[in-house]
Amino acid sequence: MNLYKNLIRLLLMLFLMQAYALKAQTVSVDLSGKWKFQTDVMDFRRGSLSPRYNHVLQEEIQLPGITDDYKIGYKVPYQYIDRLTRKYEYMGPAWYQRDIEIPPAWKGKKIFMYFERTHWLSSIYVDTKEVSAIDYISVPHNHDLTNFVKPGKTHRITVCIDNRFQYKTHKWNHAHTEFTQINWNGILGEMKLMAIDPVYVEDLQVYPNIANNAIKVRLQVNNETKKQFTGKASFTINGKNYNLKNEVAVVSKDSVTFVEANIPMGKNAKLWDEFNPNVYQITAQLNTSDGKTNYQHEKATTFGLREVKQGKNHVMLNNRPIHLRGNVENAVFPKTGHVPVDDASWERIMLLMKDYGMNHLRFHSWCPPKAAFRMADKHGIYFEVEMPMWGKDAEPDEDRYNFFRREMRAILKEYGNHPSFVLYCNGNEITGNFDFIEELTSDAIKLDSRHLFSGSTARTRVKSDQYYVSQQTNKGPVKVYEGLPNTDWDRNAESDVDVPVISHESGQRCVYPNFEEIKKYANSPVEARNFEVFRDMLQKNGMLDQANDFFKASGALTVLEYKAVIEALLRSSKSAGFQLLSINDFPGQGYAPVGILDPFWDSKGLVTPEKFREFCAPTVALLRYEKSSFFNSETFVGKAEVYNFSNAAIKNAKLKWWITDESGKVLQKGNLKSQTIANDNVSPVGEFSIPLKGIKAFHKS
């Protein structure tokens, strides 16, 4: 009998332990799928005229998604010349509704509704009461519904997404413009209802210390119980062939407690950079008790063991100078009309960047979603991210200022752990009150030491600038639009100022439109109706049969110009790098087909990645010469250099030169002295002369 009782007691204990384990875990309900839906172009909510949340909505829509997916809005009859044409325009409140049962087991939990990305303001109504509103552009919206829903009850949840401009911000910024990604209305990515214990990890930040191969972990623990709790925070760090555990005691009665732990990672921990993008994941498990009730919560993040510092002329990564070979990312996503939130789409972009020898992406007046950071972490791409800030956005307007203050802090909190997040700038070509820009920049530096910060691209410098992206400095132009008929020049003197200088929006060489691209928009929310106008103009003038020749000829010239532009900036050893506008077409602000890739990031067939990497790569052979045309009575003099920002010196390098004619026949050749070529620099490797008197006929070499 005692054995039987003990067995029953043991089974009961196991059941209770299992029940506790289930209770302690974060629980979520996927909210994707069918929702009731209704537009609201009259905005009845603001007019107090029977707002939508008072009623059962009459239509249906699938989420995640955007209104354009369902041809909702004004059917656009126009052919916009200055941008791609959105097929169905909708700007205003749109309402999404679902009846949701709150599980009885969620009693005593914190309850949140989470949207990965919305556009722009999201408001939550529980039954007929507005309970939460969030207006971030760059980060997820996480609505706290705890005090407004009752476990065990079914509530009608009505969500209003309002894609109108919530503040008087510049209409071109790429976070919500019609000129690149469209000003969509909807919800994208992960959307869920979550329940967590009332003692939980609100924030988890990781600060690497490469000198000690260690990290400092900082937790923000929120306590909603109004009681003292005790317990521990346990950390698990995983990477490739790496595992480490650590823990720290936690005790507090405050509503918000910060917990720090310094964790040595040991000699086997590896640094992160573009060549070795070693990524770790840290999971913090919080186990606490108030004496009567036990609580548990987990939060995880990825990080890399890397440090960023300001050098004299370069951004320093892990105490080594890097040179940024960059592209300007303008939120150009015509396939969907919105930024992708899946890993596969962003991985494709990162791999294309690598294929074309680039290591850097500037996000012009917008900040990408988590998936972009994950894939940049994985493949070693350095990001510069910005707020949706442009032009006159720094002119006095306290409501707008407060929005930018919140947005900046939210970006640093949400994405700050990612090693790819190297640079932060407030926005593009800002004008107005630069005391406000200095405030944002200096505050950001105090908040987060893991990045370098700059006030604005291409405009007034501020005191706290740690780098500068611009067309020029006080010493002259640093931007290069096109080549010259000689190469014995650079931008060293102009770039040699008190902070690293990155050449702003270099290139910008347009290619004639490829009318074959028109059909690629068949299943997109936008169309290239401007291309149709250009095509019809050619046809009217009897020149349509030459369109492909124009495309190929202008494309060949653009490739030559980009070679000249990039090589000039590679010769500039005191330049911190460049940001090309751009490797893919920029269909905004008048439409600029400047890419060797089209707006879909597909090749135009103008140059292969292998040929592009001959002048854009971690290691490039360079040649300085005084002019491009010679008589055969002259002597060609070349000064050879090697740009080497690879991860190692080139030992015992064999250096050869040769000159060929148009057919590829070698006319003369020779060798330079074998030598070791240092990395992290541009090194002169020798000079050579070629008397041209033996060349009797005209040649293009």
CA dihedral 86, 88, 89, 92 (to 10 degrees): -140
The token pair at 3 is: 């054995």
Q: To which residue do tokens 């169309």 refer?
A: 527
Q: Residue 651: in which H helix or E strand, if any?
A: strand 650-660
pLDDT digits (tens, 9 = 90+) for 259-278: 999 999 999 999 999 999 99
- Distances in whole angstroms, Cα of residue 70 to Cα of each of 37, 243, 281: 11, 47, 39
Cβ(597)–Cβ(584) under 8 Å? yes
pLDDT digits (tens, 9 = 90+) for 196-212: 999 999 999 999 999 99
Distance CA 128, CA 156 (A): 8
pLDDT band at residue 49, thresholds of 50, 70 and 90?
A: low
Q: Which of 284, 277, 238, 289 is nearest to 261 (CA)?
A: 284
pLDDT digits (tens, 9 = 90+) for 554-601: 999 999 999 999 999 999 999 999 999 999 999 988 899 999 999 999
pLDDT band at residue 6, thresholds of 50, 70 and 90?
A: very low
pLDDT digits (tens, 9 = 90+) for 75-115: 999 999 999 999 999 999 999 999 999 999 999 999 999 99
Identify the DSSP state of 356: T
Burial of 202 (0-12, 13-18, 19+ CB in 10 A): middle
The gap from C-alpha 699 to its chain's centroid, in whole angstroms, comes to 47
pLDDT band at residue 2, thresholds of 50, 70 and 90?
A: low
pLDDT digits (tens, 9 = 90+) for 293-347: 999 999 999 999 999 999 999 999 999 999 999 999 999 999 999 999 999 999 9
Task: Could you list the beta-strand ranges (E) of 127-228.
Answer: 129-134, 141-144, 154-162, 186-196, 199-209, 214-223
pLDDT digits (tens, 9 = 90+) for 211-232: 999 999 999 999 999 999 999 9
Q: Phi/psi of residue 409, each to 5°?
A: -65, -35
Q: Name the 3-class secondary structure at 342.
A: coil
- State the Cα angle at 597 between 592 and 600, rounded to 5°: 90
Distance CA 638, CA 623 (A): 6
Q: To which residue do tokens 């509503």 refer?
A: 255
Rounded to the nearest 10 degrees, the angle between the axes of helix 434-447 and helix 398-415 is 20
**Cβ neighbour number for residue 24 with a 10 Å cutoff:** 17
- Within 8 A by CB and 6+ apart from 435, the residues are none
Q: DSSP readout, 385-433?
A: EE-S-BGGGBSS-HHHHHHHHHHHHHHHHHHTT-TTEEEEES-BS--B-
Q: Name the 3-class secondary structure at 550.
A: helix
Q: DSSP readout, 27-71?
A: EEEE--EEEEEEE-TT-HHHHTSS-GGGS---EEEEESEEGGGGT
Q: To which residue do tokens 């045309």 refer?
A: 629
Q: Phi/psi of residue 488, each to 5°?
A: -85, 60
Task: Could you list the beta-strand ranges (E) of 426-574.
Answer: 452-454, 468-470, 472-473, 476-477, 501-507, 526-527
The token pair at 557 is: 């010239």
- Distances in whole angstroms, Cα of residue 457 to Cα of each of 167, 521, 701: 22, 33, 39
pLDDT band at residue 51, thresholds of 50, 70 and 90?
A: confident
Q: Which residue pairs from 517-525 have beta carbons closer than 8 angstroms and sit at least 24 positions apart in sequence? A: 517/598, 517/599, 520/598, 520/600, 520/602, 521/84, 521/334, 524/334, 524/335, 524/336, 524/337, 525/66, 525/68, 525/69, 525/86, 525/87, 525/88, 525/182, 525/184, 525/336, 525/337
The token pair at 242 is: 């790496």
pLDDT digits (tens, 9 = 90+) for 654-699: 999 999 888 888 989 999 999 999 999 999 999 999 999 878 766 6
The token pair at 280 is: 């770790």
Q: To which residue do tokens 């009681």 refer?
A: 227
> How much is the average pLDDT of 2-28?
49
Q: DSSP readout, 667-678?
A: EEEEEEEEEEE-
- Within 8 A by CB and 6+ apart from 582, the residues are 327, 328, 329, 330, 507, 594, 595
The token pair at 7 is: 């067995």
The token pair at 380 is: 């070693």
Distance CA 117, CA 163 (A): 12
Q: Which residues pair with 686 in a beta bridge?
A: 640
Q: DSSP readout, 134-162?
A: E--SSS-EEEE-GGG--TTSEEEEEEEEE
